[in-house]
Structure 1
Amino acid sequence: MQQSVRLFESLCSVPAQAWDALHDGRNPFVTHAFLSGLEEHGCLRDDWGWSPQHLTLWEGGELVAAAPGYVKTNSHGEFVFDHAWARAYERYGRAYFPKFLCAVPYSPVTGPRLLARRMEHSRALLNAMSDLTRTAGLSSAHVNFHTEGEEPAFPAGWLRRLDVQYHWRNDAGWTTFEEFLGAMDHKHRKNIRQERTKVARAGVTFRIVHGDEASEDDLATMFGFYLQTFAEYGNSPALTLEFIRHLAREMPRSLVVFLAEQDGAAIAGALCLRGAETLYGRYWGAAMQLPGLHFEACYYQGIDYCLREGLRGFEPGAQGQHKIARGFLPTFVRSRHFIADPAFAEALGRWCTEEAESVRGYAAMLGAHSPFRSPP
């Protein structure tokens, strides 16, 4: 059957049922509800460098493959850092922006990027990406945080980058927090208990609500914590309260909010999304600073939740070597890159090879500092 490629500037133009039929539903970030919500509720704007260009593959009237895509005029909100590439490209005498990005905005979370049931359709999406890059005069195309299983789909010439995040995995079959702690050496087990005790002695308790359990006040309070964190770091927040409400309404059991309360008032919160087997930590904020509060809200409450709910993984966000001491071990994350200029691509290929060797060495060094007595 004849295939055709179509670009959509709004995901609302693609039927949600057809889009979601292309993935297994285990990762909340690639759902139609999540991605379309970003567009509908003011989180993506052209003047912020995000112009949706979703790539779809059709056979007759049937959608057989798709990739969330954006034409970018900066590298904000991507978390695969290519600022040095952009500067080098400009010194080379070429404009690095605009470029094409296949990713989930503001979400450094590994998940499917080539939504397709057949490998040949995944490859067709990638060929369409490189064709679009050339015909539209873009410098490059980038696929960020794709799964390891998608690696075979990439043709030769797509550069490979590697990075490290810190993930918690329950491959040992722990059922309680004490069992998890029992797998650690004495020093780390003691430190975690001391951190948790400090929070409890301060009179802090936690209330956990899913989207369908959260009140309007709960959502507004969590959003206020989110805004405060961005203000403290001098950054511009991208999410809106309407988007948080959208998640609670359209993805009610995927949205999980951990609210820390003291004397009946919320003093901190962490916003997470839940997949089929994994909890994803996204944002946090606090109205006051208490010893251990950040670790309790962002790490220990999430681990406790995973143990109770039978989830096997917890990804608390990008960066943070301090997470190792709390049971989050170094894990590789991946991205692929097509550079339209062959000479520049060759130079970057050598750079990527050296970077990957450095990242592997770094991960090995980090792995030597595991808090566990034996591999969990």
Structure 2
Amino acid sequence: MSGTSLKLHSRITDFDAALWDGMTDGHPFLRHAFLTSLEETGCVRAETGWLPRHMGLYDESGATLLGAMPCYVKGHSYGEYVFDHAWADAWQRAGGRYYPKYQVSIPFTPVTAPKLLVADGQPVETIQAHLLDGLAALTDQQGLSSAHLTFLPQDQAQKAEAQGYLLRTDQQFHWTNKGYGSFEDFLKDLSSRKRKQIRKERREALAGGIRIQMVEGKDITESHWDVFYRFYMDTGSRKWGTPYLDRAFFSAIGQKMPEQIVLFFCHKAGNIIAGALNFLGPERLYGRYWGCLEDHPFLHFETCYYQAIDYAIAHGLQFVEAGAQGPHKLARGYTPVKTWSAHWISDPGFRQAVARYLETERMDVEETVAYLGEHSPFKKA
């Protein structure tokens, strides 16, 4: 990396917020404010297994930032959503030490976003190559087992593959706006049976006098966060055992980035019984967390999927991403898309074993995406 220097930063606030945000294409989860909120509230720290070691690439003098990566030293594989527990078990059974490892990602957030960040005016291909080379060199020099760049855009994943990283794929379900003027326009694209099913689900979800309230931006108060945090804790405790985020985090993002937050609350008989948190990007709405304190058929679908579609249509957004995995989303108009990650494995023998596994896994993902695409709820051309 002649003419450049690589530096590790123990906190995101080491970077100027405007310079950092200028490299992120307006992505809400990459924003300096979002990452700062995770660190300042203690959700991301050594004790939680997410030790910040953000990588900054500088000119030779170290004065000018050329590029960066959001990076962490991980003591486990939780909160990543690209699962490598089997790799860790295999390597440790062979006598190796899998943890700690480098993780280039957004903590607790299974959302595709650029990770090879390039400053304005810098040569993109060159800076990305330097970042990838630097990460691999640091991983080897420090005796770590591996480095993982997860939920990459396809072009960045393929760039990494060209530089010796192992390519991995998976799939999620996203909704695409095909120029719809209303939810009914969207339904017209579906088969008759699916169209009737969704209409039925929407009716039954709101039976018994349930109504949906949207709260966004600066209208969100601490009282709203108090209510939502109850839902988050209830769902998180059941799904993960220990929820990743604390109450202070939600206040922090509400203060630092309110213009990118949309909440849907479900009211019944004067009480808020459910809610969903969404983040707003330049052309996407991202559904992140949901919770409900009562059992109501289809209310999850209404609050998380159909309200998100309504919002996207009304605001001219192109896509809705409603979280990781979930084949049940297919019947609600969310279609399969591939996700990408890249992995540097230091040990040559272990690397070969992982490469063989990934070759088979990629074929399985291709077949799954093709199969699901053939069984989408949309009318056949």
- Normalising to structure 1: TM-score of the pair? 0.97
Secondary structure of 1:28's partner?
Answer: coil
Q: Matched residue of 1:212: which SS?
A: helix
Q: CA deviation at 1:235?
A: 1.4
Matched-pair contact (CA < 8 Å) for 2:114–2:156: yes
In the other structure, the counterpart of 1:95 is: 97
Instruction: Describe the SS at the equivalent of 2:163.
Output: coil
In the other structure, the counterpart of 1:112 is 114
Distance (Å, rounded) in 1 between the aligned partners of 2:159 and 2:366:
23
| Counterpart residue number, 1:168 | 175
Q: How does 1:213-292 map to 2 (within 5 A)?
A: 213-233=219-239, 235-292=241-298
Distance 1:167 1:112 in 2: 18
Matches within 5 A, 1:106-145: 106-117=108-119, 118-145=124-151
Give secondary structure in 1 for the equivalent of 2:66. Answer: strand
Q: What's the CA shift for 1:252?
A: 1.1
Which residue in 1 is equivalent to 2:165? 158
Contact 2:132 2:163 in 1 (8 A): no
CA contact (8 A) 2:45 2:52 kept: no
Q: Secondary structure at the match of 1:303?
A: helix
Give 2:43's aligned residue: 43
Q: Name the SS of the counterpart of 2:67 in structure 1.
A: strand
What is the one-letter code of the residue matched to 2:28?
Answer: P
Contact 2:158 2:167 in 1 (8 A): no
- Structure 2 counterpart of 1:318, from 302, 321, 324: 324
- List per-residue Cα deviations over 1:282-311 (Å, max 9, x = no partner): 000011111111111110111101011111
Residues 162-206 of structure 1: CA deviation (Å, up to 9, x unaligned): 101000011x21110000011100111111100110122221111
8 Å Cα contact 1:99/1:141 also seen in 2: yes
Question: Which residue identity is paired with 2:54?
Answer: H
Identify which range, 329-338 or 216-225, moves more after superposition.
216-225
Q: Deviation at 1:93?
A: 1.5
Q: What secondary structure sits across from 2:39 in the alignment?
A: helix
Q: 1:191 aligns with which of 197, 207, 230?
A: 197
Could you list the runs of 5+ residues in structure 2 that have no partner in the other structure?
A: none
Contact 1:225 1:287 in 2 (8 A): yes
Deviations 1:294-337 (A, max 9, x none): 11111011110101111110000001100000000010000000
| Whole-angstrom distance in 1 between the partners of 2:342 and 2:193 | 39
In structure 1, the partner of 2:57 is 57
Distance 2:336 2:6 in 1: 38
**Equivalent position of 2:374 in the other structure:** 368
SS at match of 1:29: coil
Aligned-residue RMSD, C-alpha: 1.3
CA contact (8 A) 1:54 1:69 kept: yes
Contact 1:19 1:63 in 2 (8 A): no
Matches within 5 A, 1:345-364: 345-364=351-370
Displacement of 1:210 in angstroms is: 1.3
Percentage identity across aligned positions? 41
2:184 aligns with: 178
**TM-score, normalised to structure 2's length?**
0.95
Residues 41-75 of structure 1: CA deviation (Å, up to 9, x unaligned): 12113122110100010124111100000001100
Q: How many residues align?
A: 373
Aligned partner of 1:2 in structure 2 is 3
Q: Equivalent residue of 1:253, what SS?
A: helix
**Segments of 4+ in structure 1 off by > 2 A?**
231-234
**Which blocks of at least 5 consecutive residues in structure 1 are unaligned?**
none
Q: Distance in 2 between matches of 1:211 and 1:242?
A: 18
The aligned counterpart of 1:301 is 307
Would you say the 8 A contact 1:22–1:64 is kept in 2? no
Structure 2 match to 1:21: 22
Q: Cα–Cα, structure 1 residues 152 and 332, in superposed 2: closer, same or farther, change >3 Å?
A: closer
CA distance, structure 1, for counterparts of residue 28 and residue 307 of structure 2: 20
- What is the CA-CA distance between 1:24 and the residue it aligns to? 1.9
CA–CA distance in structure 1, aligned partners of residues 240 and 156 of structure 2: 36
CA distance in 1, matches of 2:114, 2:91: 29
Bigger drift between 116-125 and 157-166 goes to: 116-125
Q: Quick one: which amino acid aligns to residue 107 of structure 1?
A: T
CA distance in 2: counterparts of 1:234 and 1:72, whole angstroms: 18
Whole-angstrom CA distance in 2 between matches of 1:234 and 1:119: 39
Contact 1:174/1:180 (8 A) holds in 2: yes
Q: Distance in 1 between matches of 2:284 and 2:380?
A: 23
Alpha-carbon distance, 1:152 to partner: 4.4
